[in-house]
Structure 1
Amino acid sequence: MTTAKGAAAPKSSFWASGHWPTLVAAFLYFDLAFMVWVILGPLAPAISEDLGLTSAQKGLMVAVPTLAGAVLRVVNGLLVDRIGPKRSGAISQVIVIAGLFTAWLAGVNSFAGTLALGIILGFAGASFAIALPLASRWYPPEHQGKAMGLAGMGNSGTVLAALFAPALAQMFGWNMVLGLACIPLTIVFLVYLLMAKDAPGAPAPKKLTHYFQPLKTADAWWLMAFYSVTFGGFVGLAASLPIYFTDQFHLTPVMAGTCTAACVFAGSLVRPMGGALADRIGGVKSLMMVFIVAALALAAIPQAAALPAALALFVVAMLALGIGNGAVFQLVPQRFSAEIGVMTGLVGMAGGVGGFYLASSLGFAKQWTGSFAPGFTIFAGLTAVALVALTLLKGHWRRTWGAAEGVRI
């Protein structure tokens, strides 16, 4: 084993093996970034009332940050490769803080303004491609999973948005929430500058064409497709549930935010557990169970006439999707160990695209049919298609790269 500095050393405990201040800084950055990435979702009921948005416009408003984050994850991956994760993260945080401050100061007065803000918030969603390499490069192979798991738990920031944004909007107005968000973001930015440090021995920058090499293999596309279902479902629901609960059950924005937080917390909490389960029984088997449970829960949601039943089904779906996120990333390094950085960005991008599809399709379904049901039903169908595809692929995967690596997939 080698340490992050490249010198031979005996195996040590997790906390002694890396640079814990950087790990803490990466988690805080990721957590607050995810909080503002989805902040338009909890604010959507108030924004749509003020601006007179249609159901389709509401869906697009909460979906655009997800799509922008997906595209910018690849951009941030390239930036990390060339100037290092710390500086890349600092630039991204400044853009987000400046964008929110400007939106608060000037006001967001139109649907086009919400879309422009959503693009800026995409830089927050793209923090995934910065925070994970910032933390993980400090840790040796036997502790990589723990480091990435702890840094990656920053997706729990979506819970903060769901819990606090509606209440603050009720007290101060939704536009003021954009300005208030700059306060914790600025504090975390200063902590980040003081605590974060790039690991020595960073890999040399790669040519742009290197990033597209994995796309020549079908396995890369399948893993991206599976993550577009698991993470796409998770983030798409996180952004859309406040709208669903207010429109479908006529909850207040604060109560809708609380219900959303419960669902999102379930999905965030189990992501590390999903990786651990995949290590134990194999990523393919865990992912197959995930797709079965998620498809059944999503298909049943339109039939849930009462809030408790719908809430229970959303929690089950989010638990399954959260486990699925961890399961996919157990499989990715088994197949693409030499291109793990590139594949992390590509798979993450696919997840964002899936989230954009789900959030926008729910809005269009509500506007065109008067019901959210077609959006949930179609996504449940896509989940079932993913299950069939994985069933057909599993034998080939186990005979080829699974057997070659001697790992449980």
Structure 2
Amino acid sequence: MTSPAPTRRSGRWIERWEPEDEGFWEATGRRIAHRNLWFSVLSEHIGFSVWTLWSVLVLFMGPEYGLTPADKFLLTSMVTLVGAVVRVPYTFAVAVFGGRNWTIVSAGLLLVPTVAAYAVMEPGTSFTTFLLIGLLAGIGGGNFASSMTNINAFFPLRRKGWALGLNAGGGNVGVPVIQLVALAVIGANGGPRVLLGIYIPLIVVAAVLAAVFMDNLTTVKNDAGAAKDAARDAHTWIMSFLYVGTFGSFIGYSFAFGQVLTNQFGRTPLQAAYLTFLGPLLGSLVRPLGGRLADRYGGARITLWNYVGMAAATAVLVVASMQKSLPLFVSVFVVLFVLSGLGNGSTYKMIPGIFQAKAFAEGLTGEAAVAHGRRLSGASMGLIGAVGALGGVGINLAFRQSFLSYGSGTGAFVAFLAFYGACFALTWAVYLRGSAARARTRASQGAAEAKAQLSYAEV
């Protein structure tokens, strides 16, 4: 028997949405969910490009702009900070306005920082003005949170790792794409206004396509209680810490990589641009793979071993930085980007799984457990995404202090190595310790009890 189609009302609202129902999903849900996913990716992609705009604009800003390396690191740090903070209200905007409606608004808002930067980007503009205009670009970071919350509601739990990884990865690709566009502009002897002029019409296109092709879900209702419940749950803050290590690394390194190459290794802006895009590109493309691996093997396991790899890569970067070996430094930095992308996918897959596991542990079953998990995971994503993005602020401030104190980024890398070790320990202690014993327990118990004993290693 075929499940009935989604119930619709005017304004592209869908009232009935049951992705966990296999019949519903195969009949109509899959097609609608994927259509919303693709146009969500486009809007988030442009948002990431605008957010990381200043990571490439500072490469255009030579001595005639009068900015020191510390000024540039401070500028990019503040842009990252705003992007982190606005993720919280952007998350709940989906429930207030609807996923489609907020995608249109959030895409349109990107015109503000882009047009403003176009107006002031010239030598003689004060650092304070650049800082204020740069802060506006931070709103591009909010698009990620609203997009992830929206797409989380469209897909069944068994497919969330892939869908969220693809959505986030497609958005993350906005970082290397704007770096590649900047490379082309610099190579053609174009100025920063050429780069900004390219993105203004793209923003309009993203907003129009969202209006034409996306949908709102009435099942994603505004629930202030969910935000409070998510904030009170320890797992929200544990996952926030872990996400600092993965996404915080990705966005922080994306902002800082070019500046490290120019300040520590003496590369010109054009030479730096040739190198900076590769790491963010591969880190973005591999994010869906992190989600897919987490779907298959468990997000906690993938995350744990990913931190081992990130720590090892960082240790090599310390050596490369001390020896001033550019080939080793760049190649290992690219590996670190790839690992951060894998970890982004695996950590975000863990979030819905954790809250679903808690629902089973509390005795909920069926649709009640699904609804409970979706409610808390959607609310927690904004908080986790916001705190995770703060890692990018920390990375840029760490580099700023390291260059001020030591004249290189070595001190910052040592701090990052210690942090990845802490992330490894926390992942093991909370989500994997004793999982083997729980697995043996599940093997000897009935199916009902097994659900209640669901191991977090499986999330």
TM-score (norm 1): 0.91
TM-fit CA distance, 1:165: 1.5
1:379-394 aligned within 5 A: 379-394=416-431
Equivalent residue number for residue 121 of structure 1? 137
Amino acid at match of 1:328: T
Question: 1:46 and 1:364, CA in 2 relative to 1: closer, same or farther beyond 3 A?
Answer: farther
| Separation in 1, partners of 2:312, 2:428 | 17
Does 2:38 correspond to 1:24? yes
Equivalent residue number for residue 334 of structure 1? 353
Equivalent residue number for residue 405 of structure 2? 368
Conserved? CA contact 1:44–1:242, under 8 Å = no
Question: 1:10 and 1:245, CA in 2 relative to 1: closer, same or farther beyond 3 A?
Answer: same
Question: 1:145 and 1:260, CA in 2 relative to 1: closer, same or farther beyond 3 A?
Answer: same
Equivalent residue number for residue 34 of structure 1? 48
TM-fit CA distance, 1:181: 2.1
Q: Stretches of 4+ moved more than 6 A in 1?
A: 400-403
Conserved? CA contact 2:162–2:292, under 8 Å = no
Question: 1:386 and 1:139, CA in 2 relative to 1: closer, same or farther beyond 3 A?
Answer: closer
Query: Unaligned 5+ residue runs, structure 1?
Result: none
Equivalent residue number for residue 321 of structure 1? 340
Conserved? CA contact 2:158–2:295, under 8 Å = no
Amino acid at match of 2:80: T
| Separation in 2, partners of 1:294, 1:386 | 10
TM-fit CA distance, 1:13: 7.5
1:274-313 aligned within 5 A: 274-304=290-320, 305-313=324-332
Conserved? CA contact 1:270–1:322, under 8 Å = yes
Q: Secondary structure at the match of 1:251?
A: coil
Deviates more, 1:44-53 or 1:317-326: 44-53
Equivalent residue number for residue 79 of structure 1? 93
Equivalent residue number for residue 172 of structure 2? 155
| Separation in 2, partners of 1:286, 1:16 | 27
TM-fit CA distance, 1:175: 3.9
Question: 1:279 and 1:86, CA in 2 relative to 1: closer, same or farther beyond 3 A?
Answer: closer
Q: Secondary structure at the match of 1:405?
A: coil
TM-fit CA distance, 1:3: 6.6
| Separation in 2, partners of 1:367, 1:2 | 64
Equivalent residue number for residue 10 of structure 2? none
TM-fit CA distance, 1:263: 0.8
Amino acid at match of 1:204: K
Amino acid at match of 1:12: E
1:47-62 aligned within 5 A: 47=61, 49-62=63-76
Amino acid at match of 1:323: L
TM-fit CA distance, 1:230: 0.7
Conserved? CA contact 1:48–1:54, under 8 Å = no
Deviates more, 1:163-172 or 1:381-390: 163-172
Amino acid at match of 2:229: Q
Does 2:276 correspond to 1:260? yes
Conserved? CA contact 1:302–1:373, under 8 Å = yes
TM-score (norm 2): 0.81
CA deviation map 1:186-233 (0-9, x unaligned): 22222222222223x3332112x5313223233222111010011101
Equivalent residue number for residue 177 of structure 1? 195
1:149-228 aligned within 5 A: 149-152=165-168, 153-169=170-186, 171-199=189-217, 201-207=218-224, 209-228=225-244
1:99-110 aligned within 5 A: 99-107=113-121, 109-110=125-126
Which has more radius of gyration? Answer: 2
Equivalent residue number for residue 137 of structure 1? 153
Amino acid at match of 2:70: A
Conserved? CA contact 2:94–2:102, under 8 Å = yes
Query: Unaligned 5+ residue runs, structure 2?
Result: 7-15, 357-372, 440-449
Conserved? CA contact 2:279–2:334, under 8 Å = yes
TM-fit CA distance, 1:48: 5.3
Conserved? CA contact 1:3–1:139, under 8 Å = no
| Separation in 2, partners of 1:141, 1:265 | 27
